[in-house]
Amino acid sequence: MKKRFLSTITNQRGFILPVVLFTISIFFILITATITSYQNEIHMSEAHLERIKMHTLLQMGFQSVMEEYDDPSALPHTLYYSFLQGEVNITTTSITKDTWETLAKVTTNNHSEHTFKQTINIPHFYPKA
């Protein structure tokens, strides 16, 4: 019985070749799936970093507005800021005395653009010291 099992494995008619081909095929499929998954993770990470960069630029723009204009009534209609990571274009519209609506267009150095619309409560945005 033992001899028959060994003769089947070493038989020249090919018992080992299909098993080896199947194993190698599964191995290559797993490697290809892993590489594809890794490439997708890289793409998602780059998109996430770009989104973080946009939000950072937006916050830098609003911080620049707060530093430049102490009085909210002195705000011009359109503000433009250029930073190292990109540009911010802020358009302001007064809704009420204490509420302003802003439309901020953020463009990064990689030419990614996004527009943020916010309603700002002036007493909260400009706290009185």
Q: Which amino acid is at 9?
A: I
Quote the tokens at residue 97.
């005395």
3-state secondary structure of 42: helix
15 near 8, Cβ under 8 Å? yes
The one-digit pLDDT tens for each residue of the chain (129 residues) are 455 555 555 555 656 677 888 899 999 999 999 999 999 999 999 999 999 999 999 999 988 887 887 766 667 788 899 999 999 999 988 888 778 888 999 999 988 899 999 887 776 666 654
User: Which residues make beta-bridge pairs with 81?
Assistant: 88
Token pair 């780059």 is at which residue? 46
Query: C-alpha 101: how far from its chain's center?
Result: 26
**CA within 13 Å, CB half, 54:** 17
